[in-house]
Amino acid sequence: MKQSSSILALLLLVGAADASAEAARPAERRALFGELHLHTVMSFDAWTFGTKLTPDEAYKFARGETVMVPAVQVRREQGIDVTKPVAARRAWPLDFTAVTDHSEYIGAMTELDDPASQFSKSEIGQELHAGGRRAFLKLASGAFGGNAETRDLLAGASEAADAWNIEIKAANDNYEPGKFTTFIAYEWSASAGYGTHIHRNVIFSGDHAPAPFTSIDSSNPEDLWRYLGSVRAQGLDVIAIPHNSNLSDGHDFDWNMSNGRPIDEAYAQARALNEPLVEIAQTKGTSETTPELSPNDEFAGFEIMDRLYRGETEPVRRGSYVRDAWGRGLVIGDRIGTNPFKMGVVGASDIHNGLSASDEDAYAGRISGLDPATMMPTGEAVASELSVKPEDLGTRPTGQRENDPLQFASAAVTGVWAEDNTRESIFAALKRKETFATSGTRLRLRMFAGWHFSSGAQERGWVARAYREGVAMGSDLPARPRSAKAPQFVLEAQKDPDGANLDRIQVIKVWLEGGDYREQVYDVVLAGEKRRGADGRVLPVGNTVDLKTGEYTNAIGAPILRGSWQDPDFDPARPAVYYARALEIPTARWSTLLALRNNLPIPDRVSPTLQERAWSSPVWYTPGK
C-alpha cells in the first residue's frame, strides 16, 4: 500500500512537472524570420523574365548557402555581361522558407529548355522562347482562359515537367528540423480582371500535398477554401494567405462575396478559418494603409504602390488595405456575428528570380533579389531605371502602362514567435497568428494584451508573466472583468543586430462607432527624452544619413524599446482591434544606394531615406453580449 502511494505520488509529481514545463513553453518562444512568397524557374512569368534557378537552389540560398546563378539569368535580369555562372549568397540566413511558384501551368516553361520537347516545337512555344517577357504578356490573356488548344498544350508541358513533385522534393530535401524549415507551397494566382490581384499563397503543414487547385479551376476564393477543406479532411493542415491586396482594386476586402451578395456568416466563418493571415508588405508595395485612407497617420505613406497594371486609372483603395479590412471586419462581425477579416500579418518578397534577399543594398528594383557583391547592375541598365519619367515608361502589349521601377520596394520578411525551428512549431505560430512582419530587417516585435498585468515590460521575467496574465498578439482579449477599466498592453521591439536603432513603438487602434469604424495612432514608447513638443506631438527622431555615401550612424534612437500602455479612450461597448508598429531611425533607400554606387543623381521622385518598420498581428476586443 505504501509502495502504491509512493508510485501515485511520483506520478502526480511527474504530471505536475510536465504541466509546469508545458506552461513554461510559450515563454521560450523566440523570433524566427522567414519567407512565404518566392518564385523560381517553375513560375510561368519568372521563366520569361530570364530566371533559371530551381526551387532546390532557392532554398539553399535562403538558408545561407552559396548558389551559382546561371549566366543567362544574370545577363537577362541584371544586365551584366557575364559568360560564366555568378556566385550569390544571402547576407544573413533565413530560418524558414516556402517557395510559392504560380500553380497555373507550373513548370511548363521549363520544357522550352529542351529543344526536343513537344512544347518547344509548337508555334506558341517558339514564340515564347523568342519573345520572352513581352511574348508572355501578349499571350497571358489567352494562356489563362483562352483557347482550348493553348490550354491543352500548356497543361501537357506542365505534366511533362513533373513540376509539383519537384517542388515537394526540394522542400523535403532542404528541411532540417531545428536549423532550417521549409514548407510545401504554391501561389493561387486568380484575378478579378486583368491586373487586379486576388492572389493567395497556399502553405501546407506536412511533407506531402495533393496537386494544386489553380485559378484555372476557379477564380473564386470560396472554391479555393473548399479545396483546402478537402485537404484537411485527408489529415493535412493548410492555410491560404492573401497578398498584394493593395493591387486588388477593392476586391480583397469587399463587403460582398464573389456572387455579389453581402458577406454572410458561412462566408465569414470559412474565410476566418482558411485565411488567418494576410501579407502586409512586399516588393510591390505595402498594404497597411495609405495617406488617403489614414490622413492623420504621418507614417501612412510608406512604400505605396497602387497603380500596378492600372495605367492612368485611379485605384480603388477602400477594400484594398489591411487596416481598412480590420475596420470592416468589426462592422461585419457586429452585424452577422463573425468577423471575416480577423487576420494576423506576414511579410514577404514575391521575388521572381529565386533569390530571397531583403536588405536595401541587395535590391535594384522590380523582381530580382541580389548578392550586392557579385550581381549589382551598373551602367545604362541602372541609369534608365533611376531616371525614367512616368510618362516615358512605355506600354505593354495589352496597352497598359508599364510599371514604375521606383515604386518597387525591397523585400519584406515574416517573423514568428515559435518554440522550435520546425514545421510543426512554425505552422502552429502561423495558425495562432503570433506573427509579425518587417519591411526587410530583423527587427523583433512583440505585443501582449490583458486586463490586469502584475508588472510591466521592464520587470525581469515579464514575458512569462505576460503569457500567464494576458494574450499574445494574434489573439482575442478574454471577457472584461468588472474591475478592469481598459485593456493594458506590454510591448517590446529590438533592433536588427546589424541594423539601425529604433525610433518608436506605436499602437494603432481601430474601433466600431456609429455603424462604421474609426482609427487612431498612439505613440507609446519613444527613444530619447523630451521628444514631445508643446502641442503634445512627437518630434522626429532625427536623420543621420549621409546622402553622399548612403551611410548612417546609430547616434540617435535606441537598440531596445520596452513599455506598457493602457488605452485612455476605451469604451467597453465598442468592438476594437489593436496592433503595434515599430519604426527604425532613417536609413538610405535602395534607390539612393543604387544611385550613389553608380555616381548618378539620387532620384527626386521618391524619398532618399526611409524608416524600416515592423507590424504586429492585432489583438481584438469584443464586448460581452
Cα separation, 346 vs 427, whole angstroms: 13
**pLDDT recorded at residue 500:** 98
C-alpha span between 22 and 107 (Å, rounded): 44
At residue 530 the predicted structure's pLDDT band, cuts being 50, 70 and 90, is: confident
Check: CB of residue 481 under 8 Å from CB of residue 469: no
Whole-number Å distance between alpha carbons of 326 and 201? 20
With H, G, I as helix, E, B as strand and everything else as coil, classify residue 612. Answer: coil
Instruction: Indicate if the pLDDT at residue 245 is higher than 80.
Output: yes
Question: What pLDDT band is residue 123 in, cutting at 50, 70 and 90?
Answer: confident
pLDDT of residue 125: 87
The rounded distance, in Å, linking the Cα atoms of 50 and 71 is 10
CB under 8 Å to 400, separation ≥6 — which residues?
194, 195, 309, 310, 311
**C-alpha span between 427 and 418 (Å, rounded):** 9
pLDDT of 242 higher than 60: yes
DSSP 8-state class, residue 102: B
Measured CA to CA, the distance from residue 211 to residue 204 in angstroms comes to 12
In the predicted structure, residue 549 carries a pLDDT above the cut 60: yes
**Is-contact 300 581, C-beta < 8 A?**
no
Q: How confident is the model at residue 550 (pLDDT cuts 50, 70, 90)?
A: very high
What are the φ and ψ backbone dihedral angles of 47, each rounded to 5 degrees? -60, -40
The pLDDT value recorded for residue 366 is: 82
Has residue 399 got a pLDDT over 90?
Answer: no
Which pLDDT does position 542 carry in this prediction? 96
Give the tens place of pLDDT for each residue, 569-608. Answer: 999 999 999 999 999 999 999 999 999 999 999 999 999 9
Task: State the DSSP string of 394-455.
Answer: -B-TTSPBPP-GGG-----EEEEEESSSSHHHHHHHHHHT-EEEESSS--EEEEEEES--SS
Segment 34-59, tens digit of pLDDT: 999 999 999 999 999 999 999 999 99
Secondary structure of residue 538 in the 3-state scheme: strand
Q: Quote the CA–CA distance of 326 and 261 in Å, as a whole number.
A: 20
CA–CA distance, 604 with 607 (Å, rounded to integer): 7
228 φ/ψ angles, rounded to the nearest 5 degrees: -60, -40
Q: How confident is the model at residue 380 (pLDDT cuts 50, 70, 90)?
A: confident
Cβ–Cβ contacts within 10 Å for residue 484, how many? 16
- Percentage of the chain exceeding pLDDT 90: 79
pLDDT of residue 398: 58
Residue 12 CA to residue 17 CA, distance in Å, equals 8
Terminal Cα distance for the chain, rounded: 53
pLDDT, the chain, mean: 91
What angle do the packed helices 322-336 and 265-274 form, to 10 degrees? 140
Looking at residue 386, the DSSP 8-state letter turns out to be H
The pLDDT score that the predictor gives to residue 7 is: 36
| pLDDT confidence band for 397 (50 / 70 / 90) | low
Q: Is the pLDDT of residue 624 over 90?
A: no
Closest residue by Cα to residue 464 from 476, 453, 477? 453
- For 438-485, the DSSP string reads ESSS--EEEEEEES--SS-TTSTTHHHHHHHHSEETTSBPPPPPTT--
Region 354-380: mean pLDDT is 94
Mutual orientation of helices 221-233 and 265-274 as an angle, nearest 10°? 60
What's the pLDDT score for residue 124? 84
Convert the pLDDT of each residue in 273-316 to its tens digit.
999 999 999 999 999 999 999 999 999 999 998 765 545 567 88
Rounded CA-CA distance 507/580 in Å is 4
Contact status, residue 321 vs residue 387, Cβ threshold 8 Å: no
- Residue 2's pLDDT band, with cuts at 50, 70 and 90, is very low
Number of other residues whose CB lies within 10 A of the CB of residue 147: 10
pTM to 2 decimals? 0.94
CB 99 within 8 A of CB 167: yes
How many helices, marked H, and strands, marked E, lie in the chain?
A: 15, 24
Q: How many CA atoms lie within 13 A of 613 on its CB side?
A: 24
Query: Rounded to whole angstroms, how far apart are CA atoms 491 and 565?
Result: 8
Maximum Cα–Cα distance for the chain, whole Å?
92
